[in-house]
Amino acid sequence: MNKQKVMIWVLIVGLISCCKPTLTVQRITTMPSSSGSDDEGGLYYALPMTLISVEIPITQTTRKQGDCFWDEALKERLGTKDAAVLIAKWKASRDSTYTFYKLKEDQIAITARPIPDPSKVLHVLLVGKWNKNRELTATLNELGQMTQGEMVNQDRTFDLVVQGVQSVAGIVSTLVVPKSAGQSTGTNLADADNFDLISIDKRKRNLIAVRAARTQLIQSSDNVGAEGILKRKLDELDKLEADLLSHLTFDETKTQVILRADILIQKTGSSPFDSSTPILTFSEEAKPILHFEPDAGTYQNEYLRQFADFNSTPAGGAEKLYTLTVSYTSGKQLADYVSEPPTSSTVARGLAYNVPVWARAKVKVKPKTDPEKIVAVATVAMPQWGKVAYLPEKASSTGFEFDPSTGSLRKLSIKQPGLTADQISKAGTALNSAATLIQPESLTAPLGKATRDNDLIEQKIRAAKLQMQYDSITQVKDKLTPALKN
């Protein structure tokens, strides 16, 4: 699937002062309208969880016996063995129709996309008075601005995606060899009743005539001129032959679709993921059986119901059972050390973000008699289940960008001098003493004179910069002191 650019920017600009402004982040467990928190204003945002999609291409082929069936033509078209099998299938069918299915295992695809996590919907409030104008700005996508009550979350859904058509509504790309009843037949086949659907003998004669015409056209010594003209003539004869063969053997209809299973990764017991999720039972002789029911009202589509059956539990002895497994090695990834489970209280300090893990998603198939094998593999970055990490809630300014897929940090900027007025004064005094030994006028820093709160942040920034130079200046002072005494 083409991925939308989805990102969450949150910029918190604050000041550490005597007013002690703070940022309160609260996880939402009830609807805001029932808890009263909607009266407090603030910002709602959601961290994502991962939805894994498995796309399986399947072709449905239907062969219906022609109205002027001729077994010799069928043997010529399919071969003696396959012709005998098809005839037996027709005899077992009420309307001489046989439908079978093909699954392209080498084209099975695994993809992942984010959806809002209902356990990680957060409410952000600025608490305290500000002694200067401060700003809370956020840019969220349509999913990030959802509350729990607005979220639609399905454990498993089913999509029918038509190959080459951007739709999940069940539009079908059907390829049928047309019956060319109104086509011109050429000078050699000019009779008016040439395509009489009753006369099998006429169709046999016409088939022989079309093939003879093709041979004559290819071998003719007068066959000169543009290559395109010859090709068009041969194409016309090929279409006529295909049409005649469909009446003498069978009409074939092919429907190509992609079955897509959307599966939420769920935690069960001590394992962070389902050990194995059944997706599909497949047999060439019967409809595919999906092991998850489509949403009522969303996929009420007659074609979809005709194409596949639904059963939540795989039957024993299935021809082929396809399953999805997702796993990762716990205790050895960064997320196992830096994130923590949400506390019993829903109130935390600082903005929450996810720490991702790398997981391996595999589609396996277990044939009825052969050993199980892997048919598709993908490495997926996903949020750690049920755990988050927090940014510091107090800083002069904090800005970060969320990764759209995992809710982890993509960019981060934190400014936090963290120096008290007393520390600034002491640092200024020490630095002034050292600097005076070298350049009394240029390096003297009048940091000790500031008393007003409005000047405090500027002093902190200057002190932080000067503090970085202090060690090197001290070394110079130590070298110069003996010389000055002498």
User: What letters, b where the CB count within 10 A reaches 16 and e where it falls short, cover 238-257?
Assistant: eebbebbbbbbbbbebebbb
Q: Is 259 helix (H, G, I), strand (E, B) or coil?
A: strand
pLDDT on residue 394: 63
**Residue 274: which of 138, 192, 156, 119 has the closest Cα?**
156
Residue 302 has pLDDT above 70, yes or no: no
**Separation between Cα atoms, residue 90 and residue 99, nearest integer Å:** 10
User: 10 Å Cβ neighbour count for 332?
Assistant: 9
pLDDT on residue 397: 66
Report CA-CA distances (Å) from 314 to 3, 290, 291.
Answer: 33, 9, 7
For residues 233-261, give the mean pLDDT.
79
Contacts of 330 (CB under 8 A, 6+ apart): 272, 336
Contacts of 206 (CB under 8 A, 6+ apart): 185, 189, 194, 240, 244
Q: Where are the domains of the chain?
A: 64-105+174-254, 421-485
pLDDT tier for residue 57 given thresholds of 50, 70 and 90: confident
pLDDT on residue 276: 78
Instruction: Kindly state the percentage of the chain with pLDDT values over 70.
Output: 47
Q: What is the mean pLDDT of the chain?
A: 64
Q: Which amino acid is at 7?
A: M
pLDDT on residue 376: 92
User: 10 Å Cβ neighbour count for 353?
Assistant: 25
**Residue 359: which of 401, 403, 323, 329 has the closest Cα?**
329
User: 10 Å Cβ neighbour count for 340?
Assistant: 12
pLDDT on residue 5: 35
Look at 54-58, 83-87, 176-180, 351-355 and tell me which has the smallest mean pLDDT: 176-180
Is 181 in contact with 247 (CB distance < 8 Å)? no
Radius of gyration of the CA atoms of the chain, in A: 37
Contacts of 468 (CB under 8 A, 6+ apart): none
pLDDT on residue 13: 35
Per-residue model confidence as pLDDT tens digits over 361-418: 899 998 888 888 999 999 888 887 777 777 766 666 667 777 878 888 777 766 655 5
Residue 165 has pLDDT above 50, yes or no: no
Per-residue model confidence as pLDDT tens digits over 432-451: 544 444 333 333 344 444 44
